[in-house]
Chain A
Amino acid sequence: MGIFTRGFGGRREPEAASLPPGQHLTDGFPVLTAGPTQYVDTDDWSLTITTETNDRQTWSWDDLMAMPVDDVEVDIHCVTRWSKLGTRWRGVPVDAFFEKIESTGDYVMAHSHGGYTTNLPLEDLLDGRAWVVFEYDDGPLPAEHGGPVRLLVPHLYFWKSAKWLNGFTMMTGDEPGFWEGFGYHNYGNPWREERYDRD
């Protein structure tokens, strides 16, 4: 319609040159969700990787705590146009989980408690590009931000960083997850502004 609201947006920080196209900085950390916050006790938490032949491997919270961790500082970009720079997390590289997995699957579906799903190529989870995180900003990851454990894939739009992570399913063929099958881009590269399908 072309109506601009005078003075709106004036409080936002000046844009950094290093933002993907169409993004704006935020200093808050908006909580965006497709369903109710999941509350999972670490005693009850587990992560299961299921291969395309239905082989399973499961890690408990204690298993997770015994794995090598990274402290990472990354920028995150939400498809709703906010970006947050320099977010700090602690977690286990996804590589560590797939080391012993035998699979010919090139694609992965990440699963959350509560039923949310999102699909990614396996290679986007490996080589230090993704983490299974359990701390944010020096503290336990809060439930409203996906705690106790969520996926972190900073090079893609943040809807790919599934909250309340509880599993990965390997797939030989790509299948769309919750948003990918419903208007959103299958891959989601913010630097190419791949927000919606057919972008």
Chain B
Amino acid sequence: MTEDPSSHALDGNAAAGPFADVFGVDVSMVTVTCGGCQASAVFAEQRAFLGGPGAVLRCPGCDHVLARVVQTTRELWLDLSGSASWRFPMPISKAAGSQPNEPLADGTID
């Protein structure tokens, strides 16, 4: 990373910080689908524009605004209206309670 978070396009890696404020977690690996052209890519590979009034995430294919974040003195604003969907990867835990009563391959329930 380097000086001047403004001007030319960065990628979602650079926007993960501002979006972490709102989501409480690193969203670099979320798969975002564009509401304009339906292309999908991980957050990290979308285009990001920072340093201005807010952080803007855009589709590299069609420039559609996928998401925006603004931090004012009092509030955090989040706009996801340009995204068709956000898919968050989840861990598959074998801990008890995560998949209760799921039958096993042989039909028994652990």
Q: Do A and B come from one complex?
A: yes
Q: How far is the CB of A114 from chain B (nearest CB, A)?
A: 7
Q: B54, A179: Cβ atoms under 8 Å? A: yes
CA distance A184 to B63 in the complex (A): 22
Q: B72, A195: Cβ atoms under 8 Å? A: yes
- Using known A-B contacts A182-B68, A196-B73, determine if residue A35 contacts B58 with beta carbons closer than 8 Å: yes
Which of B7, B58, B72 has a CB less than 8 Å from the CB of A183?
A: B72
Q: At the interface with chain A, which of B21-29, B45-53, B98-106?
A: B45-53
Q: At the interface with chain B, which of A9-17, A26-34, A63-71, A101-109?
A: A26-34
What mask results when residues 139 to 159 of chain A are scored 1 for a CB within 8 Å of chain B, else 0? Answer: 000001000000000000001
CA distance A30 to B65 in the complex (A): 22
CA distance A32 to B56 in the complex (A): 11
Q: B47, A36: Cβ atoms under 8 Å? A: yes
Q: How many A-B residue pairs have CB under 8 A?
A: 70
Chain A interface size band reads: 20 to 34
Q: A183, B54: Cβ atoms under 8 Å? A: yes
Q: A80, B52: Cβ atoms under 8 Å? A: yes
Q: Does A48 have its Cβ within 8 Å of any Cβ on chain B? A: no
Q: Does A162 have its Cβ within 8 Å of any Cβ on chain B? A: no
Q: Does B77 have its Cβ within 8 Å of any Cβ on chain A? A: yes
A31, A33, A184, A197: most-surrounded residue (chain B CB, <10 A)? A33
Chain B interface size band reads: 20 to 34
Q: A179, B49: Cβ atoms under 8 Å? A: no
Q: A182, B7: Cβ atoms under 8 Å? A: no
In the complex, chain A residues whose CB is within 8 Å of the CB of B77: 182-183
Which of B8, B49, B51, B72 has a CB less than 8 Å from the CB of A80?
A: B51
In the complex, chain A residues whose CB is within 8 Å of the CB of B14: none
Q: B70, A31: Cβ atoms under 8 Å? A: no
Residues of A that sit less than 8 Å from B by CB: 30-37, 79-80, 114-115, 144, 159, 179, 182-184, 195-198
Residues of B that sit less than 8 Å from A by CB: 4, 6-9, 47, 49, 51-54, 56, 58, 63, 65, 68, 70-75, 77, 79
Other A-B contacts than A36-B63, A115-B65, 11 sampled, CB-CB below 8 A, are A32-B6, A34-B49, A35-B56, A35-B63, A36-B8, A37-B7, A80-B52, A114-B63, A182-B54, A183-B54, A197-B72
